[in-house]
Every structure is written in C-alpha cells, then in structure tokens.
Structure 1
Amino acid sequence: MTAETTARADPAPMTHKQILQALSGLYVGIFVAILSSTVVTNALPTIVADLHAGQSVYTWVITATLLSTTVSSPVWGKLADLVSKKLLIQASLVIFTAGSVLSGLSSGPGLLIAARVVQGIGAGGLLALIQVIIATMIPPRELGRYSGYFGAVFAVETSAGPLIGGLIVDTDWLGWRWCFFVGAPFAVVALVVLQKTLKLPVAKGSVKIDWAGAALLTAAASLLLIWVTLAGDDYAWLSWQSAVILGGTLLLTLAFVAVERRAAAPVLPLWLFRTRTVVLAITAGLAIGVALYAATTYLSQYFQLAEGKSPTVAGILALPQILSLALASTIAGRIITATGRWKPLLVVGTVLIAGGLALLGFTDRDTPYWQLAVAMILLGLGLGITLQNLVLAVQNQVSPRELGAATSSVSFFRTLGGTIGVSALGALLAGQVAHLLGASAGGGALSRPAELPAPVRAMVENAYGQATGTIFQYSVPLALVALVCVLFIREVPLRTTNAVPEASR
C-alpha cells in the first residue's frame, strides 16, 4: 500500500471552506474542457460547410474527440492511483489546450479530426481525474452535495459554450477558428489556480501501465466506430463488410480480455465486473451516454439545418435542456447528502430520460418549439439526476485505493456509449436524409440552408426534420435498458468516511 493509499484510507477531515478552495481550481479546469468542447457544437454545420465536407465528417469531428476521451480515461485513472493527481490534471490541461489550438489551425477535415484526437486525450484526463480527486477528498455521504455543485457548473458552462460558439461564428471578423482558440486564456488561469489551490498527497508507487491492453482497447473501439459510421452508407448493415469488421472487433476484444487477465496493472480491471452494482451502473451509464451526446449533437444540427436558425439562435433554443440539467443536478445532490438515499432518484431520472427521448421522437420540420422545449426539459432533468449519481453508486462500492480505476471505468463506458451512439445515429441520419432526398446525401457536402434555392431548401429542411425524429426513436429502447439496470441495482448506504469498505457486493 502506498503512502497516498494510506492517507486516503484515513484522511484528515476538511472543512467546507477548504473543500471549496480545493475545488475552485478543478472547476476552472473543467470550464476549459467544457467550453472548448461545447463551443464547437453550434459551429459544426458552418465548419463542415466551409471545409466542403459531408455528414460523415460532421460525425467524425465529434466522435474523434469522444473516442480518444473514451480510450484514454482508463489510462488516466490508472495513473491517478500511482502518481501525483495534481501533476496529471495539469498535464491533461496542457494536452487539451494544445489540441484545441491545433484544431483552430487546421486547414482540412483530416487535420481537424487528428487535432480533435489530441484534444480528446486531454479531455479524458480532465473528466476522469476531476471525479477521482473529488472522491479522494470527500466521503461518499457528502459527495452528493459537491457532485451537485459539479453538475451545476457543468450545465451552466455547457449552456454558455454553444452561445459563445454561435456568437463567434456569426461575427464575421472572428470566424469559426476562434471557437477553438477562445479556451487558451482560461487554460492559463486554470493552471495557475490549480497550482495554488490543489493540495493532495503524492503517490510513491512505481508506474505500471498496461500499454498492450490500452492499444487493443483503442483498436477494438476504433474498428467498431468505423463500422457504425460507414454502415448504411458505404455498405449495408447486414453485409460481408459488416461481418468482417464485427468479427475483427470481436477478436480484438477477446485479445484485450486475455491481456487484462494476465496484466499486473490492467488498464480496465476485470475485477470490477464481479460487483453487481458496478456492472449495472456501467451498463446504465453506457445507455445514458447515448442520450447525453446524441441530444447535444443532433438538436443543434436540427435547429440549423431543419429550421434554418443561426448558430447563436440554436444555442439559445437549447437552453431548456441545459438549465434543467443544472437545476436537477444541484437539487439531487443536496437530497442525497441529506437522506443518504440515491436509488429512487436514479429511477426517476431514467424514467425522465426515456420520456424526453420518446417526445423528441415525434420531431419533424414543423414541430412547435414548446413541444421540443418540454422534451428537452424532461431530458435535462433526467440527465442531471443520473449522470453524477451513477458514478457515486460505484465509488461507494470500492476502496479508496481503487477509486481511480473504478471512476475512470464508469466514465469510459459512458463516453463509449455516447461515442458509438453519436456515430451510429449520425450514419442513420445520413442514410435517412439520403433516402428522403433521393440522393447520396451522406457523401455530399453539407450546405447552409439559407444559401440553397427555396425549393431545395424546403426539401433539405424537411429531410433533416424527419431524420432527427427517427434517430431519437431509436434511442428510446436504450433509455429503457438503463431503467431496467437501475431497478436491479442494490442500494447500499453511503459511507460517511473514506475508510476501506467491506467486501464488495
């Protein structure tokens, strides 16, 4: 057991003021990550149009970041159990900022996607490490309160990002590249604040990373994403190409499991899957990840390509989901801290997510905004209740020395679900648009609706409206899977200290 592990097993109590001071630097750091990610959301139709690219590029600009975030999170989590968390989060912040600047300098789709991969590696560290650090400082019973703060900050920053991105794109003398540059000054502030406010014990163990496992995990996830991106466009979902790619994915996955069983420090510990709560929470998180990223990605595209709104207006129209997420996250966190009960909230949250997605399934070009707003509010409330509390349920089941691996594993599967979901739904949307337009829209360049002739504009807007409703219909069963998983999770009372819990359940 390392010095850090010992410190965490019996930590000195921190006052509320001390915790808030320590969290201030983390919040600035997550501000940079969220701003640089969400600021691009409403700018993507403009970016893709300027680069003369199609729906597949639109999807890959998003999934490139999500994929690298997904596969890097377990590595960051493992490192968090071995070396200084403060140094790691600062390194991830530097990597993320470098990727953002390179994205802004990109001259073509390929370079932009590559830069977004770098950005995602840094984001994987920020998102995984912040949750690990918070769990290191605060006992599970008190985590609900501070997780609520984190969720509220997350939501407010998520709402500000698209609005800022829209304003940047709509300002002629700035242009979309400044969507990537705008986070750099905040990154410098984050580094300074983290240096002054974050004080944690430093691990003294040797660094052992399962690089073979990480490589196999990356390869398997990448191959799966290639399939869901190209299927339905370049080849049929049921075809020999699909069979070959899925067969390769299965072989890589089996090889990954074999490597992890023998690895001294596995990147994704298989022992996690012996705990029922962890398995169910991971499965629910994977399904909920689809709802989180699909709604953020394709509602913005809907407002611009189906309703002809500007990027700024699209950001304003998405506010109901973001504000309800902030409200729900804050209130749910306080309820959990006051009562120690978390399962009833998870059940309510997943029901709200399913309801919101079902209502979005009726979307078409002429859907009244009030109906979309109600759907977004339901979805936002559900996400605000469930996102942080699924992580809390897992953190309550593992010992402090395993927090890094457990937390990053939950984040891994949630982001993996979102990545696969965005990619698959993007392919589905492209195929639906192509079918409705009677042309290969998936391979053609996306245009701004305002620049199209009136008859063509009406056809394009109608196609994107109908296709958007279709992809949300396909998301509803996944939300129901999450609900079933949550119902079968056994509620374990939240620990009031960070001492090692008894045997996992």
Structure 2
Amino acid sequence: MTVADDAVRERAGTAPMSHAQILQAMSGLYMGMFVAILSSTVVTNALPTIVADLHANQSVYTWVIIATLLTTTVSSPVWGKLADLLSKKLLIQASLVIFTAGSVLSGLAADSGLLIAARAVQGVGAGGMLALTQVVLATIISPRQRGKYSGYLGAVLAVATSAGPLIGGVIVDTSWLGWRWCFFVGVPFAILAMVFLQKTLHLPVGGRKVRIDWAGTTLITAAASLLLVWVTFAGDKYAWVSWPTAAMLGGSIVLTVVFVLVERRAAEPILPLWLFRNRTVVLAIAASLVIGVALYAGTTFLSQYFQLSRDKSPTLAGIMALPQILGLALASTIVGRIITATGRWKPFLVGGSVLITAGLGLLGLTRADTPYWQLAIGMALIGIGLGTTLQNLVLAVQNQVQLSELGAASTSVSFFRSLGGTIGVSALGAVLAGQVTRYIGGGSGHGSGVPRLADLPPAARAVVQNAYGHATGNLFLYTAPFALLALLCILFIREVPLRTTSALETAND
C-alpha cells in the first residue's frame, strides 16, 4: 500500500499510518529540516574569514547571523497561518525554493550588504521549513506517538547543528574551495528534499480562502528589527542609557502595542491573541524565549571562544563543540522514545531546564585556560537539557489545541524561541564586544573588529585570548539566571495526558 493510499484512508477516518509509512512521509521533511539548520550554523566557524575577505566590520559579523535568524523568526507565523489555510506540501516546497535561491545569492554576494540581504532571503525559506515540519508532524501523528518522531527531529537538528560548523570549518580550511561554498553546500540537499517530498508526502489540501494579515506581519517585523538594531549597536555606537536607546526601545514598544491592537481586529491574525488565554501556551512561550538564548548562544559564542581564546582552527573549533551536540542528539532520541512509551512529558521538561541552568552556570566559569573537560561537561549538560526541552515544549502545546489551531500554536512557540535566540545573540554579541574592549584596554588599538591572532605579537595575543575567555564566561553567567525563569515557567505547566489520535483522525471523528 502506498502513502497516497494511506492518506486517502486517513481522510476517510480509517486506520492511522504505520511506522514505516510515517518515516517515509517524514523523510523529505527531515532532510529539509537538516538543510535549514545547516544554513544557520555553517557560517559560524567561517565568519572571521568571510568578514575579513569582504573587508567588513564587527557589526557585519553579527548581522550575517542575525539576518537569517530574524527572517526565520518573523516569517514563521506567516508560514504557520498559511499552513492552516493552504496545502502544507505546496508550502514546504515553496519554502525550499526560496531557501535555495537565498543560498545561491549568498554564495555569489560581492559585498557585505548583498550577503546580509541574501541571508535574509535564505532565512525566509528556512523559517518555512522549521515551522511547517512541526505542523505536518502534528497533523499526521498522535501526541502520544509524536514524542518518538520529535526525538528523531531533535537528532536531525543536532546532527545539522554539529555538521554545520564542521563543514564550514573544513571548507574555509580547504584553499581550493573558499567560504562561498559554505552557502552552496546546502543546495543539493534542498533539491533532494524537494524530490523526496514530492514522492512521499501526501496530505489533504486546505479549502479555506486565504486572508493574510500583512499589517500584523509588517508591524511585528518592524518591532523585532528595531529591537535588534538597538541591542546590536548599544554599547558601541552609543551608550546603553542614551537618547538613541530611548528612541529605539520606545519605538519598538509602541510598534508592539499597535501590533496587539491590529491583531485584536484582524480577521486572520498572524499571531492569534486568543492563544494567550491558554496557560500552557503562555508558559511554554515564556520558557521558549530563554531556551532559544541557550541554544544559539552555545553554538555561536563557543565557536568564537575556541578560535579567539584557545587559538584553534575553524575545523577543530567545530570538533571541540561536539559534547553539546552529541548530548542534544542522544537526549532527543532517547527521551522521545520514553515519552511515547509512558505518555509522561513534564518530568523531562523540568529535568531539562535544570540541566540547562547547571550547564550555563558551569560555562560561566570559563576563562582562556579553563580545562577542556570542564567545558565539555558544561556543553554536555546544556545539550542534554536542550534535547529534552526543545521539541517537547512544542508537544505540550500541540496536545492542548484543536486541529484548526495547530499551525498558529506550533509556530508561536517556535517564533518566540527563535526571537529569544535572535535577541540573545545580538545582545550578548554587543556585551561581548564591550567587555573585550574593556579587558584589553581602550588604547590597545583593538577597536570593534575581530582580531587575527596570527597577526599579533605574543604579548598582545595573550591579552586578547584572556579577554575573550573572560568575556565569554561572563556571557554564560549572565544567561544562567534566565534559565531559572524558564524552569519556573515549566513547573507551572499542567501536565495533560497525551492524546492517542492524530489531528486528522480527530477531525474525521
């Protein structure tokens, strides 16, 4: 029996899909998720080389990452809304086409401005893959069985997260390739994912008329962008307490208030406000904000630490960050299977948030000469904690909403997780730059640029390495208390037994 035949039976309200059929249907989605995550991490170890080759400054270093994270974040609710209205399969294919176009343009970019713009396009496509994969997963698999497949998804995320820096490092360290191949490398995977999706994924097509909330989308994008511009340049171009800060922060608050007013009257709101009447949704969103910071801070700043404080090559920096990724992969897979077997999910959310807090606290002790085994333990704790919380916060929300709400609810959690990560990377990057300058000394000539250790005399090199080591430790120390807030939010989430029917089966009852 084919997946198409099974899909017909699903729409008729008969037997659910088998394990083999679900894996076949999800194969293209897993591959798409892999390439979406790969696109955001492949530049991590390559950025110092990219910035130097394009003769760019420190702000470009940050915005090459933020451009993708921002458009991934703000486009997710749009994709989620479209998933409630249109063919999910068609939308996933469209997101892959957009991603592929952005990847090619990024690889061909002649200057930093074009690279940032192309990375923004890439992020729109990646946002579609990240959001729609969660929606499809919730559509064809029951919450009770979803833990296992969410575990597979977490493993894919972990592999892509670890493969990205390693692939980027190898590409940069290979003279006949060059950094542009960091963007070209994902294109074959995206094309292969489109082929798999066409052959394996069969879902009913939505029949409602599409009404996209463009006003809400514009407002939330503007509010998030203004907030990111503020935290990126604060402490460098202007003081944290200054008129530019007041103007940008105040403007972001005003735009957010206007967004809420518009959403209250919108026929098809991009971020339905009624979701926030659900206590589980509110608490999961609040926890996801902090979880996002831990996820992106670890991958971004640890790589920079290994290169600038420990003087490691881009490839070796990727290898040294493996404890976090391996912990995430193992925890996602094992915990997913346990949740499917037992139906219990809250203990893993609580335990995961405790581990994240402990890991951040341990990494808060980081200095240039910190023993690697201590760093490895901290990274592993964060990885295991992320593996038990990332997908299961979404699962907790999906288990308590209707079929018509799946798209909006799922992407709301993902949206705020990405928003937390985006703001966190931007703010922590600004704090890092300020602290490094302070530890080195204003008259050192370091400025706001990213130094090349090989170009520095031994004495200056030691100062820079100590500065980056101390500043990186401070970043994780500052983040740890926020992880406690995530733990507090999770403690108040009410555990509801996981449903044993999928959304499609429920809709056909």
1:130 partnered with 2:133: yes
Q: CA deviation at 1:19?
A: 0.4
Aligned amino acid, residue 476 of structure 2: F
2:290 to 275, 287, 293: 287
Q: 1:9 Cα deviation (Å)?
A: 11
CA displacement, residues 337-381 of structure 1 (integer Å, 9 cap, x when unaligned): 111111110000000000000011011111111110000000000
Matched residue, 1:426: 429
Q: TM-score, normalised by structure 1?
A: 0.96
Distance 1:262 1:326, change over 3 A: same
Match of 1:167 in 2: 170
Tell me which moved more, 283-292 or 10-19.
Answer: 10-19
Unmatched 5+ stretches in structure 1:
none
- Paired residue for 1:66? 69
RMSD (Å) for aligned C-alpha atoms: 1.8
The one-letter amino acid of 2:364's match is: G
* Deviation >6 Å, runs of 4+: 6-9
Distance 2:102 2:363 in 1: 33
User: Could you say if the C-alpha distance between residues 170 and 13 of structure 1 is closer, same or farther in structure 2, counting changes exceeding 3 Å?
Assistant: same
Contact 1:437 1:460 in 2 (8 A): yes
Aligned to 1:186: 189
User: 2: distance between equivalents of 1:390 and 1:325?
Assistant: 15
The answer to whether the 8 A contact 1:152-1:327 is kept is yes
- Please name the residue that 1:116 is paired with: 119
List per-residue Cα deviations over 1:239-289 (Å, max 9, x = no partner): 222111111111100100000000000000000100000000000001110
Larger mean CA deviation between 249-258 and 57-66 belongs to 57-66
Match 1:450 to one of 454, 470, 494 = 454
- Residues 53, 446 of structure 1: 8 Å contact kept: no
1:221 aligns to what? Answer: 224
Mapped contact 2:138–2:503 kept (Cα < 8 A): no
**Alpha carbons of 1:11 and 1:283: their partners in 2 closer, same or farther (altered >3 Å)?**
farther
Q: Distance in 2 between matches of 1:181 and 1:450?
A: 29
Partner of 2:242: 239
Equivalent runs, 1:454-469 vs 2, <5 Å: 454-469=458-473
Per the alignment, residue 484 of structure 1 pairs with: 488
Amino acid at match of 1:452: L
CA change 1:456–1:107 in 2 (3 A) is farther
Structure-2 separation of matches of 1:10 and 1:413: 34
**Corresponding residue to 2:438 among 423, 426, 435:** 435
CA deviation after TM superposition for structure 1 residue 27, in Å: 1.2
**Per-residue deviation, residues 362-416 of structure 1 (Å, max 9, x unmatched):** 1111111111000000000000000000000000010011100110111100000
Q: Distance in 1 between matches of 2:12 and 2:347?
A: 29
Q: Is the 8 A contact 1:228 1:423 kept in 2?
A: yes
TM-aligned CA deviation for residue 439 of structure 1: 2.9
| 8 A Cα contact 1:397 1:501, kept in partner | no
User: Which residue number corresponds to residue 397 of structure 2?
Assistant: 394
TM alignment of 1:1-150, pairs within 5 A: 10=13, 12-150=15-153
Q: In 2 relative to 1, CA 318–497 (structure 1 residues): closer, same or farther, beyond 3 Å?
A: same
User: How far apart are the structure 1 equivalents of 2:483 and 2:362?
Assistant: 13
- The 2-side partners of 1:397 and 1:30 are apart by 25
Contact 1:82–1:204 (Cα < 8 Å) also in 2: yes
Q: Secondary structure at the match of 1:81?
A: helix
Moved more, 208-217 or 463-472: 463-472
Determine whether 1:363 maps to 2:359: no
Distance 1:431 1:308 in 2: 21
**Could you tell me the percent identity over the aligned residues?**
73
Task: Give ranges in structure 2 of 5+ residues lacking alignment.
Answer: 1-6
What is the alpha-carbon distance in structure 2 between the residues aligned to residue 51 and residue 367 of structure 1? 33
Distance 2:497 2:153 in 1: 22
CA–CA separation in structure 1 for the residues paired with 2:37 and 2:218? 27
**2:382 paired with 1:379:** yes
> How many aligned residue pairs are there?
498
Among 403, 408, 431, the residue aligned to 2:411: 408
Rounded to whole Å, the distance in 1 between the matches of 2:69 and 2:221 is: 12
Amino acid corresponding to residue 466 of structure 1 in structure 2: H
TM-score of the pair, normalised by structure 2: 0.95
Kindly state the Cα deviation for residue 57 of structure 1 after the two structures are TM-superposed: 1.7
The 2-side partners of 1:48 and 1:459 are apart by: 22
SS at match of 2:144: helix
AA at the equivalent of 1:483: L
Aligned position for 1:271: 274
Distance in 2, matches of 1:178 and 1:442, equals: 30
SS of 2:344 mapped into structure 1: coil
